[in-house]
Amino acid sequence: MTIIEILAENARKYAQETSLIEREPASGRRREITWLEFDRQANQYANALIARGVKRGDRVAILMMNCLEWLPIYFGTLRAGAMAAPLNFRFTAEEIRKCIKAAGAKVLFYGPEFADRIAEIRNQLDCLERCIYVGADSAGDLFCPAGSENHHQLLSEAPANDPGIAFSDQDEAALYFSSGTTGTPKPIILTHANLLSACITENTHHRQTHGDNFICIPPLYHTGAKMHWFGSFLVGSRAVILRGVKPRWILEAVSEERATIVWLLVPWAQDIIDAIESGEVDLSNYRLDQWRLMHIGAQPVPPSLIKDWLKHFPRHQYDTNYGLSESTGPGCVHLGLANIHKVGAIGVPGHGYETMIVDENGQPVPSGKVGELIVRGPGIMKGYYNNPEATRTALKDGWLYTGDMCKQDADGFIFLVDRKKDVVISGGENIFPVEIEDFLQAHEDIKDVAVIGMPDKRLGEIPVAIVEPKAGRSLTEARVLEFCEALPRYKRPRHVFFDKVPRNPTGKIEKPCLRQRFFASVV
């Protein structure tokens, strides 16, 4: 079975039941579609693409904010036999150009937020044959920029029957770009088998049933949000696409839509806690008794955060999820619902996965020693698109080398220490920023923190902290450094800067941006 067949099965079983809801709290807008409408729209997009010359294996880029049209376009692309290539909505025009060119995309779907960026680069993209503008909600509004088609016109002309293209598990289905936190994003090839494995892994971990309702907040272009939703998709349960991350908006969506599962990023969870503790929101104003699971992924999770969360939501199940786009998103390692006593770990091998922690020669390291995490299992990518050298570096004998430095305790739980490229080497000592970040997150006045290495003439690098205080709190460098005296001397930050910590849409700290911003201040 492929995820295309799952969609068709859901349309047969649950035709008139709601599949997707879009909430835009800023405007008060709410839209929804049934499973039958979802399936029919996917067919229409597929037939429209085929009518415009899209063939098996062609790449179709998607550059859109989260919206109700996003997933039908994605599934329609797959149903046409093409490869969906979602793009980061924070990319500049030049980054968009590079990614479309790297993918060799033949068609681009884009939203109104990106019209100017696309106009800027359109004549530089020889591979791109068609641009399809996903504009206003009204089917009567056929405005679109010059040189593009409006998707409403496209749907009005396309039949809603299944185009009947057969798939095998090993057919290439999607092209995802790595997050780019350590350099230029690389296109990652995922197969239909990879996507199906994400459905099974996620559902096995979080036990979604047809009666669940998943709140989807992170960007759909990333594997994290979509692959967590896949666990609900497998059983035909509804989902809410929430366009906004304010604590009040999240709680309203959970309350009004009777949601049961929410996947959050660390900053959003912290914002909710802060809003509760400041009195900005009053939990008694919301219907939250059905909310059973809050889980977090995409970044290290401070144990102090979960301790605070469970004070306010003591009945919640909790899970930490670790994954990469190269492993079809979350789930190759996860904490597990029964392991709340191990908060701080990323967990144990996920359903169907194996893990090892190895040294520079690929040999397993003893328990408690730091090494590189490698994983293998059903979600491991086919490779990097048109990049055999990078593929050989990342994939060895079926194992994916993650680039994440980890250690394992005596109980078999894996702890993320840091990205291999983010390790600070100071006077010959390896310093892992995540350890310092977790320590600083426990400070009552700190909302977010990043630790990076800055050049030093004597030691090579020294650790420094970028601290974002909680709203209304005041901090000084001296107070932060005094707090850090509980750390071993070599791990203590040498300088503290106060600024907002930049994170990408999946919550990962954009450390290259910080290095560029602060190097000159220290050298």
Tell me how far the alpha carbon of residue 382 is from its chain's centroid: 19
CB 498 within 8 A of CB 473: no
Strands (E) located in 267-419: 293-297, 317-324, 329-334, 348-349, 354-358, 371-376, 383-384, 395-396, 399-408, 414-419
Per-residue confidence (pLDDT) for residue 523, from 0 to 100:
40
Alpha helix positions (H), 166-282: 192-206, 223-233, 247-257, 266-278
Pairing of strands 59-63, 213-216: unpaired
**Residue from 324, 373, 372, 370 nearest 348 by CA:** 373
Beta partners for residue 187, in sequence order = 177
Do 391 and 383 contact (CB within 8 A), yes or no? yes
Residue 323: C-alpha distances to residues 373, 396, 494 (Å): 11, 18, 32
User: What is the predicted pLDDT for the residue at 112?
Assistant: 94
Adjacent-strand bridge partners of 406 = 371, 416
Instruction: Return d(Cα 116, Cα 469) in angstroms, integer.
Output: 35
CATH class of 206-419: alpha beta
420, 403 contact by CB (below 8 A): yes
pTM of structure: 0.84
CB 56 within 8 A of CB 163: no
- C-alpha 30/C-alpha 267 separation (Å) is 25
CB 87 within 8 A of CB 101: no
322: tokens are: 């670790």
CATH class of 425-522: alpha beta
Superfamily, domain 27-195: ANL, N-terminal domain (3.40.50.12780)
DSSP 326: G
310: tokens are 């469970």
Q: What's the pLDDT score for residue 298?
A: 66
Q: What is the pLDDT of residue 458?
A: 62
Who contacts 376 (Cβ-Cβ below 8 Å, separation ≥6)?
Answer: 353, 354, 398, 399, 400
In this structure, which amino acid lies at residue 400?
L
Domain with CATH 3.40.50.12780 in the chain: 27-195, 206-419
Q: Distance between CA atoms of 306 and 407, rounded to whole angstroms? A: 21
Angle between the N-to-C axes of helices 35-51 and 70-79, in degrees from 0 to 180, rounded to the nearest 10: 50
pLDDT (0 to 100) of residue 521: 47
Report how far residue 154's alpha carbon sits from residue 80's, in angstroms, rounded to the nearest whole number: 15
pLDDT (tens place) for every residue of the chain, 523 residues total? 899 999 999 999 999 999 999 999 999 999 999 999 999 999 999 999 999 999 999 999 999 999 999 999 999 999 999 999 999 887 889 889 999 999 999 999 999 999 999 999 999 999 999 999 998 654 445 678 888 999 998 888 999 999 999 989 999 999 998 765 445 678 999 999 999 999 999 999 999 999 999 999 989 998 887 899 999 999 999 999 999 999 999 999 999 999 999 999 887 898 899 999 999 999 999 999 999 999 987 666 778 889 999 999 999 999 999 998 999 988 899 999 999 899 889 999 999 999 999 999 999 999 999 899 999 999 999 999 999 999 999 999 999 999 888 999 999 999 988 776 777 877 656 787 888 988 898 898 999 999 988 887 667 678 999 999 998 888 999 999 999 998 878 789 999 999 999 887 666 788 878 877 876 544 4
Residue 41, CB-side half-sphere exposure with 13 Å CA sphere: 20
Looking at residue 128, its pLDDT comes to 95
To which residue do tokens 């039908």 refer? 72
CA dist 169 and 195 (Å) reads 9
| Residue 184 to residue 512: CA distance in whole angstroms | 11
d(Cα 43, Cα 408) in Å, to the nearest integer?
Answer: 47
